[in-house]
Amino acid sequence: MTILHLRPIAHEPSSFLALPEAAGIESRPVRTLSDDDLPHYRAILAPAHIDQRALAQRSAGLSRFLDAGGLLVFNGHITYPLLPELQPFVPAAQRNLHGLVVERVAEHPVFDGVDTQDLSFRRGVAGFYARGANPPPPGATVLHVLKADRSPIDWLWHRPAGGTILMHSGNNMWMYVDDPTSAARIARQVLNWVRETIAAPSTASVVS
Q: What is the pLDDT of residue 21?
A: 96
**pLDDT category of residue 150 using cuts at 50, 70 and 90:** very high
**Distance in angstroms (rounded) separating the CA atoms of residues 153 and 170:** 7
User: Side by side, which strands form the sheet with 71-75?
Assistant: 26-28, 3-6, 43-46, 71-75, 164-168, 152-158, 141-146, 102-104
* Mean pLDDT score, 100-119: 97
Overall domain count for the chain: 1
The CATH number linked to 103 is: 3.40.50.880
pTM comes to 0.93
143 part of a folded domain: yes
Q: What is the pLDDT of residue 136?
A: 97
In order of 74, 114, 146, the CA distances from 90 in angstroms are 16, 25, 12
For residue 151, give its domain range. 3-203
* Mean pLDDT score, 176-194: 96
81 part of a folded domain: yes
Contact 116, 147 (CB under 8 A): no
208 part of a folded domain: no
7 part of a folded domain: yes
**pLDDT category of residue 124 using cuts at 50, 70 and 90:** low
